[in-house]
Structure 1
Amino acid sequence: MKEEIWELRLYVAGKTPKSVSAINNLNRYCEEHLQGKYKIEVIDLLLQPQLAEGDQIFAVPTLVRKVPVPIRKIIGDLSNEEKVLVGLNIRPLKHI
């Protein structure tokens, strides 16, 4: 059975400290827990504001898990790793 690729979309507004922190945190969590099984799309709403409507984005940064379904959202800079993993339903990899 082929493993599913996680599709994550992170909405930010420019290069604010919260946006940069969210991008860095998300990249780190994905490398630690979803190695090679994820795709991250970062959308800057200052450049593409029309894209906020599709995922009903009301605050930034917001992370949207598109796949696997159901869709889940997390708002904030993603600094609380446990909250992010639970929110996305990611089971931490066992470190041997």
Structure 2
Amino acid sequence: MTAEPPEETSKIYKLRLFVTGSTPRSTRAIENMRRICEENLKGQYDLEVVDVYQNPDATRELQIVATPTLVKILPEPLRRIIGDLSDQERVLAGLDLQPLA
């Protein structure tokens, strides 16, 4: 399968990854998302990691009740991926992307 890369400059993926503190699960989620973004979005992303313990207002704003949770804010529509972020195909499908060959 050949991936469709994001359109040049017009499609920046603004992503927020919500985690709970510095735990092995949070660390894995952050590492997985950075790897997936680097391999598939090639610099066309802004990944913000939000620790729900440090930023409770952000979690209320987006109604985050489980972590890790990935929220795609841009491009619209807003999408959420909750739970295991190690499955690259699942994450990319949630972002409306195909994996790069």
With normalisation by structure 2, the TM-score equals 0.86
Q: Could you tell me the percent identity over the aligned residues?
A: 49
Q: Which residues in structure 2 correspond to 1:44-83 (within 5 Å)? A: 44-83=51-90
**Structure 2 CA distance, aligned partners of 1:77 and 1:9?**
15
Alpha-carbon displacement from aligned partner over 1:7-36 (angstroms, at most 9, x marks no partner): 000011101111111100000000010001
Corresponding residue number in structure 1 for 2:49 = 42
With normalisation by structure 1, the TM-score equals 0.90
Runs of 4+ in structure 1 off by over 6 angstroms are: none
8 Å contact from structure 1 (residues 21, 77) kept in 2:
no
8 Å contact from structure 1 (residues 18, 77) kept in 2:
no
- For structure 2, the 5+ residue unaligned runs are 1-7
- For structure 1, the 5+ residue unaligned runs are none
Equivalent pairs, count: 94
RMSD: 1.3
Query: Is 1:23 aligned to residue 30 of structure 2?
Result: yes
Structure 2 residue corresponding to 1:91, chosen from 77, 93, 98: 98
